[in-house]
């Protein structure tokens, strides 16, 4: 069987500053805030969406089933640097209140406010044409491919899948 998933245990080869961000074991939001630039979260959309092919197993859903998804941009000094998608089952009582946060960073909650939270290891990819999140990121800042990381979090046995794509502008602002 061929593994055609874009997600791997090891990160892709990247410049050191970008690789450090991609492999950050703690909150990416806090990492970006620590650089001294003005950090903000812009919500692009939140609500019903569909499970993507490479999300289905991690969310314990079938491809194409409904999910509740939150799409945001993380910005530094007003420049978009990360495109992120958080996805959960649409009727998840544990995660829906967590995602109802407006422009407050999800990372602040995932790394400190939920003691019962279990985090699985980061997975890494280089997402290019054909991946729906790469297409969404390209509408913000076109690129041939996007270094990305993904992590599954469990709260009360329910999964949340967080995927973050690093936009080209990030390397210039690190």
- Phi then psi dihedrals of residue 66, to 5 deg: -65, 145
Residue 1: per-residue pLDDT: 39
DSSP symbol at 95: T
Quickly tell me which residue has 């400190």 as its tokens. 112
**For each of the chain's 174 residues, which pLDDT tens digit applies?**
345 688 999 999 999 999 999 999 988 998 999 888 999 999 999 999 999 999 999 999 999 999 999 999 999 999 999 999 999 999 888 999 999 988 999 987 888 778 889 999 999 999 998 899 999 999 999 999 999 999 999 999 999 999 999 999 999 887
Quickly tell me which residue has 């194409």 as its tokens. 64
Residue 2: per-residue pLDDT: 41
Beta strands in the chain (DSSP E): 39-50, 66-76, 79-88, 118-119, 123-128, 145-155, 158-166
- Among 123, 115, 145, smallest CA distance to 57 is for 123
Residue 4: per-residue pLDDT: 67
Residue 5: per-residue pLDDT: 83
Q: Tell me if 68 sits within 8 A of 87, measured CB to CB.
A: yes
Give just the sign of the alpha carbon dihedral 131, 136, 141, 146. negative
What's the half-sphere exposure (Cβ side, CA atoms, 13 Å) at 98? 31
Digit-coded pLDDT (tens) for 52-99:
999 999 999 999 999 999 999 999 999 999 999 999 999 888 999 999
Q: Which residues are CB-contacts of 76 (< 8 A; sequence separation ≥ 6)? A: 32, 35, 37, 38, 39, 170, 173
Residue 129: per-residue pLDDT: 85
Q: Tell me if 35 sits within 8 A of 116, measured CB to CB.
A: no
């Amino acid at each position: 069987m061929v593994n055609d998933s874009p997600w791997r245990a090891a990160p892709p080869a990247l410049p050191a500053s970008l690789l450090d961000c991609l492999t950050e074991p703690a909150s990416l939001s806090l990492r970006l805030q620590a650089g001294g630039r003005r950090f903000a979260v812009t919500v692009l959309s939140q609500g019903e969406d569909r499970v993507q092919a490479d999300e289905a197993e991690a969310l314990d859903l079938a491809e194409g089933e409904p999910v509740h998804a939150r799409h945001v941009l993380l910005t530094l000094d007003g420049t978009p640097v990360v495109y992120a998608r958080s996805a959960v089952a649409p009727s998840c009582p544990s995660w829906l209140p967590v995602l109802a946060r407006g422009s407050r960073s999800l990372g602040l909650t995932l790394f400190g406010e939920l003691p019962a939270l279990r985090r699985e290891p980061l997975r890494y990819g280089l997402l290019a044409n054909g991946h729906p999140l790469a297409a969404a990121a390209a509408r913000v800042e076109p690129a041939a491919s996007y270094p990305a990381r993904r992590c599954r979090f469990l709260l009360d046995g329910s999964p949340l899948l967080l995927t973050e794509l690093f936009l080209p502008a990030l390397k210039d602002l690190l």
